[in-house]
């Protein structure tokens, strides 16, 4: 496995519309393993293939939730999820707001409204097809990651004023780190 470099704004590759893959084979599984390792290392809870420079419709997600009542960060549960060629079939009218971040927009956060649940279809790590209703935090994360497949970032859901503020803060942060 390998940790891959993460593509960050304003890299134009992030605006790419990714292509569906033909199916799940060992090469793709090896790539998904690398994506997962890259995501854990970052650390993050979701990663789309384009964020490591490959314009294919593949995502990995692991919410790494703490068990109920647990406060020890080391006790987070790893439960990796793989989404190949995911599609949204239906969305709720009801909307949920989360303070979102993104490994391609480092250390910047903003509130984004998204449908509270979605009906989604995708292939998993073994190439098996799923069609399930997804709600809660996973629904938000999956929609955020699926946006990447269309070349959309969470900051694209903000007003131009708010988006410019986030990008300005990021520029300032990078300057200070340089």
| Binding positions for Zn ion, rule: CB under 5 A | 102
Give min distance, CB of 23 to Zn ion, in A.
Answer: 25
Q: Minimal CB distance to Zn ion: which residue?
A: 102
DSSP for the chain, written as a single string: --PPPPP-TT-GGGGPPPBPPS---HHHHHHHHHHHHHHHHTT-SEEEGGGGT--BSEEEE---PPPTT---GGGPPP--EEEEEEEEEEE-SSEEEEEEEETTEEEEEEEEEEES-EEEEEE-TTS-EEEEEE-HHHHHHHHHHHHHHTT--GGGGS-HHHHHHHHHHHHHHHHHH-
Give min distance, CB of 144 to Zn ion, in A.
Answer: 6
Give min distance, CB of 148 to Zn ion, in A.
Answer: 6
Nearer to Zn ion, 52 or 102 (CB): 102
144 annotated as a binding-site residue: yes
Q: Please name which of 69, 10, 45 lies closest in space to residue 140, comparing C-alpha atoms.
A: 45
Nearer to Zn ion, 36 or 102 (CB): 102
Give min distance, CB of 173 to Zn ion, in A.
Answer: 17
Nearer to Zn ion, 81 or 102 (CB): 102
Contact in structure between 84 and 61 (CB atoms under 8 Å): no
Give catalytic residues, as residue numbers.
145
Distance CA(87)–CA(102), nearest Å, equals: 21
Nearer to Zn ion, 70 or 113 (CB): 113
130 annotated as a binding-site residue: no
Binding residues: 102, 144, 148
Binding residues for Fe cation: 102, 144, 148
């Amino acid at each position: 496995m390998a940790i891959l470099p993460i593509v960050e704004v304003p890299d134009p590759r992030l605006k790419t519309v990714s292509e569906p893959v033909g199916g799940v084979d060992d090469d793709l599984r090896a790539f998904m393993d690398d994506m997962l390792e890259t995501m854990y290392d970052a650390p993050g809870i979701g990663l789309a293939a384009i964020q490591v420079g490959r314009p294919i419709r593949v995502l990995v997600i692991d919410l790494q939730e703490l068990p109920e009542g647990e406060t020890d960060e080391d006790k987070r549960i790893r439960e990796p999820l793989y989404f190949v060629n995911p599609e949204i079939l239906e969305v709720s009218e009801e909307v949920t707001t989360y303070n979102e971040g993104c490994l391609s927009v480092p250390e910047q956060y903003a509130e984004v409204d998204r449908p509270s649940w979605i009906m989604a279809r995708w292939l998993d790590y073994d190439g098996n097809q799923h069609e399930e209703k997804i709600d809660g935090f996973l629904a938000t994360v999956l929609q955020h990651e699926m946006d990447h497949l269309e070349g959309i970032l969470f900051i694209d859901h903000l007003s131009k004023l708010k988006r410019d503020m986030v990008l300005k803060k990021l520029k300032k942060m990078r300057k200070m780190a340089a």
